[in-house]
Amino acid sequence: MNENISHELKKIVLWRLETIPPHFKLSIGNEGTFTKEELKRHVEKEDNIGVIFAKMQLKFMKALASGEFSKTLSE
């Protein structure tokens, strides 16, 4: 995957990673499990894992902004 992360999205995703606990780990499909620091490096390099994580974060933020996330929680 040769996609780039926009400068603005990259800044937001890296900022969001700073707000989570240091022991945080996330599994991304069959790609593996990654620590907070590993995710930061992947986002900074804009490699496949970084792009996948950035897209996940963008979808989450859009769901928050649209109210879709809150609606799902209330069901």
Query: Is residue 41 within 8 Å of residue 20, measured between CB atoms?
Result: no
**37, burial (CB in 10 Å: exposed 0-12, middle 13-18, buried 19+):** exposed
Reading the chain (75 residues) residue by residue, the pLDDT tens digits are: 568 899 999 999 999 999 999 899 999 989 999 999 999 999 999 999 999 999 999 999 999 889 887 777 787
The pTM is what? 0.85
**Single-letter code of the amino acid located at 11:** K
**C-alpha dist (Å) from residue 66 to 5, 21, 60, 70:** 22, 26, 10, 9
